[in-house]
Chains A and B, each alone.
Chain A
Amino acid sequence: MKCSEFLQELTNYLDGVIDDRTKAELEDHLAWCHNCYVVCDTTKKTIEIYRDSQLYELPEDLRSRLRSAIVTKCHAKKKAGPERV
């Protein structure tokens, strides 16, 4: 397996959606190709860091402000009757 073929399968490999045979080939490649091992490992860390990062959390005060604005407008829409789309 070439590095380019490994990269093509990287997303499927990290997501665990891959058949056993391809998985074995990928792991065989990883065992001897240090560069692909590093790329695979650091890609996995990239995903984990973003997933755990809590970027753009919605602050509670803004959250309740937005929610009450939405609810008020929903009540208004309800009074006005169904929307024609």
Chain B
Amino acid sequence: MSTIQPKIGEPVSDELALVQAAKGGDVSAFEELVRRYDRNVFRIAQHITQNREDAEDVVQDAFLKAYGNLNQFQGQSKFYTWLVRIAVNEALMKLRRRRPERTVSLDEEVKTEEDSLPREVADWSPNPEQQYNQAELRDILTRTIQGLPASFRTVFVLRDVEGLSTEETAEALDLSIPAVKSRLLRARLQLRERLSRYFRRRDTSEGNSKHDSGDGIQ
């Protein structure tokens, strides 16, 4: 079985030059950085906040905060990782404001390992996403990922959707590498479990679908 290849980001060779120019007051250099990463920041923000208006605010606030604090950026990490760290914090703040009844923290250890243990082990159709039209698929994927705890969702989005490395994700979220790995595993398994409901192979004997659930993982 082959491994997952991460998305490759844009070249960053001239990025430090842009950051330097922006530090020196060149707003058009900063605008170029906005142009490079606004889509990513928007996606991350909307995944975390689950709210379009909040995500728009996060894009503005994160870039303005980055601009105002460019002198704090030392260049030890990539500009993008530094920006993601700011954006994630802004997004979590929005989420906390909107849901004050639930404390939202990236440090939360959610339940035990049991929550991620596979129960549904039916195989999927060969091209499961093609069973649905685009709007339906979008709806399934959105609802499924929204059901994850914020701490899992955030790690999954940074690693698997945005293609940050484990190290970059740890740095952006201020988590240890083992913490990133453990959350990622559980996020992946929980999403898989929930998607199985929609994507499992449909038997010809439709009414008898329970039998291939097997005994689960021992």
Contacts and interface: CB of A to CB of B under 8 A. Distances in A.
Interface of A: 2-4, 7-8, 10-17, 27, 30, 34-36, 38-51, 53, 55-58, 62-63, 66-67, 69-71, 73-75, 77-78, 82-83, 85
Given A50-B145, A75-B27, A63 B218 contact: no
Nearest to B125: A45
A74 B38 contact: no
A18 to B, nearest CB: 9
Q: How would you classify the secondary structure of chain B's contact residues: helix, strand, loop or mixed?
A: helix
Q: Closest 8 A-B residue pairs measured CB to CB?
A: A16-B3, A56-B46, A83-B68, A58-B42, A11-B185, A46-B192, A35-B121, A3-B217
A49 B195 contact: yes
28 contacts: A7-B217, A16-B4, A34-B214, A35-B118, A38-B123, A39-B121, A41-B124, A45-B128, A46-B191, A46-B192, A48-B4, A49-B129, A49-B195, A50-B141, A51-B161, A55-B47, A57-B43, A58-B39, A63-B38, A63-B39, A63-B42, A66-B60, A67-B35, A70-B34, A71-B27, A74-B27, A74-B64, A85-B69
Nearest to A47: B160
B188 A35 contact: no
Contacts, number: 151
Contacts of A70: 31, 34, 59-60, 63-64, 67
B216 interface: yes
B173 interface: no
A11 B4 CA distance: 10
Contacts of B60: 66, 69-70, 73
B6 to A, nearest CB: 8
Interface residues of B, number: 60
B43 A12 contact: no
A53 B141 contact: yes
B189 A7 contact: yes
